């Protein structure tokens, strides 16, 4: 062995970047960070226990495999994979606060909401893993999976053909979502779905899922790909760009504005100069109005907030005043009507 071979190799100078302390950062500082530089992990967070609870639910139902849960940029199950992406912001309380500020709500931020979404995504996992949508019975009950997804669909709020799990009558949006929602109901612990959906057409779908799961119990999946699409640790976008894109996706173009409607809801200042300004009332009542309308329509709070803000600004320009104590109820009903019209047509109002 010559001298050059006997020399020790120098130690690597590469070091692991420290985990940033996020709690003390301002919103502006956070928005300048890249998602990959947040160094987020599931272990040690509230997500860890929720995923374990989710796995226990699967085992209790006799399902023989666990999907891989990882941090991504949103809730989804990659096509053809047995993985579930969970939004990265749920892995840190500081990021949850930023999410609420930027988007008006935190999807999956509570334990109940998170578990509901995990159960829903498991429906997609099962569909992918066992190629279920290819079965004739599946297609007869849920419809052709080849249908295109659409942001607007003709929701039937009182239809008994679909289960009700996530908000906004989501089961009605597409056959694959119908199946995922039905699986989510079947998975929910301590839910007597036979009693809840007695005399509903949706019960036939639940009975199908129940027999299907008996058939699949202990059976290995046909596909068990563990692909992690849009994994947070690889996302190099800064949070500022991430939210710019998401806010743009939820934003809508509003027509020049509903003056006749607003003058019906409120009153001109010349007729009632001493009553509260409509714009002041709307700013003061924003949170309860958004909560109520979002809960009943399923429309994202960010979209509704932009609409309500535009209405508020127009009320200010017209110098409108409160007409009665029922203004809060009336404006919530009006917003819900606009949101329902959007759900059907893709527009908040006919042009």
Of 234, 260, 287, the position where a domain reaches its end is: 234
Angle at 76 between CA 74 and CA 159, to 5 degrees: 115
Go through 240-252 and write b for each residue having 16 or more CB atoms within 10 A of its CB, e for each that does not.
eebbeebeeebee
Q: Are residues 256 and 220 in the same domain?
A: no
Residues facing 320 on adjacent strands: 268
Give the tokens for residue 276. Answer: 């509260």
Do 298 and 170 form a contact (C-beta atoms < 8 A)? yes
Do 187 and 54 share a structural domain? Answer: yes
145 and 275 in a common domain:
no
Q: How far apart are CA 215 and CA 210, in angstroms?
A: 9
> What was the pLDDT predicted at 253?
60
Number of neighbouring beta carbons within 10 Å of residue 313: 13
- Asked if 163 and 40 sit in the same domain, the reply is yes
Torsion on CA atoms 187, 191, 193, 196, rounded to nearest 10: -150
In a domain, 14, yes or no: no
Taking 3-state DSSP, the helix, strand and coil percentages for the chain, each rounded to the nearest 5, stand at 55, 5, 40
Q: Which of 234, 264, 286 is the last residue of a domain?
A: 234
The answer on 266 and 188 residing in a single domain is no
Q: Are 196 and 146 in contact (CB under 8 A)?
A: no
Are 255 and 208 in a shared domain? Answer: no
% the chain with pLDDT above 70? 87
Q: Which range marks the domain in which residue 106 is found?
A: 27-234
Inter-helix orientation angle 286-297/327-345, to 10°: 40
**Do residues 213 and 125 share a domain?**
yes
Q: Write out pLDDT tens, residues 285-300.
A: 888 988 888 888 888 8
Counting the structural domains of the chain, the total is 2
State whether 167 and 300 are in the same domain. Answer: no
Residue 57 in domain: yes
Q: What is the pTM of this model?
A: 0.79
User: Do 190 and 330 lie in a common domain?
Assistant: no
Length of the chain in terms of residues written = 351
Same domain (yes/no): 256, 221: no
What b/e string do you get for 194-206 counting C-beta neighbours within 10 Å, with b at 16 or more? eeebeebebbebb
pLDDT score, position 7: 42
Query: What pLDDT is recorded for position 347?
Result: 61
Residues 200 and 62 placed together within one structural domain of the fold: yes
- pLDDT, position 86: 98
What residues contact 261, with CB distance under 8 A and at least 6 apart?
334
Residues of the chain with pLDDT under 50: 1-14, 351
Q: Is residue 39 located within the same domain as residue 179?
A: yes
- Structure-token pair, residue 280: 């002041």
């Amino acid at each position: 062995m010559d001298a050059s071979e006997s020399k020790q190799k120098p130690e690597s100078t590469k070091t692991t970047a420290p985990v940033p302390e996020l709690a003390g950062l301002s919103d502006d500082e956070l928005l300048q960070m890249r998602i990959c530089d947040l160094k987020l992990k599931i272990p040690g967070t509230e997500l860890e226990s929720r995923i374990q609870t989710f796995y226990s639910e699967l085992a209790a139902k006799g399902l023989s495999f666990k999907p891989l849960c990882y941090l991504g940029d949103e809730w989804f199950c990659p096509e053809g994979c047995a993985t579930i992406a969970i939004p990265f912001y749920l892995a840190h309380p500081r990021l949850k606060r930023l999410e609420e500020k930027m988007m008006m709500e935190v999807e999956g931020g509570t334990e109940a909401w998170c578990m509901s979404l995990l159960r829903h995504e498991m429906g997609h996992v099962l569909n992918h893993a066992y190629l279920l949508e290819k079965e004739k019975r599946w297609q007869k009950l849920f419809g052709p999976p080849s249908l295109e997804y659409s942001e607007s669909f003709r929701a039937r709020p009182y239809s008994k053909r679909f289960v009700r799990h996530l908000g906004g009558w989501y089961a009605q949006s597409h056959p694959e979502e119908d199946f995922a929602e039905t699986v989510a109901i079947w998975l929910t612990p301590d839910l007597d779905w036979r009693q809840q959906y007695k005399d509903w057409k949706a019960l036939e779908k639940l009975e199908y899922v129940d027999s299907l799961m008996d058939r699949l119990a202990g059976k290995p999946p046909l596909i068990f790909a563990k692909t992690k699409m849009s994994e947070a640790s690889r996302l190099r976008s800064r949070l500022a760009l991430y939210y710019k894109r998401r806010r743009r996706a939820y934003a809508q173009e509003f027509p020049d504005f509903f003056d006749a409607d607003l003058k019906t809801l409120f009153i001109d200042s010349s007729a009632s100069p001493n009553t509260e300004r409509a714009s002041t009332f709307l700013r003061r009542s924003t949170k309860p109005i958004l909560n109520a309308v979002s809960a009943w329509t399923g429309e994202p709070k960010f979209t509704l907030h932009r609409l309500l803000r535009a209405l508020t600004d127009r009320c200010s320009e017209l110098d409108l005043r409160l007409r009665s104590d029922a203004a809060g109820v009336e404006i919530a009903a009006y917003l819900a009507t606009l949101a329902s019209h959007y759900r059907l047509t893709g527009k908040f109002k006919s042009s």
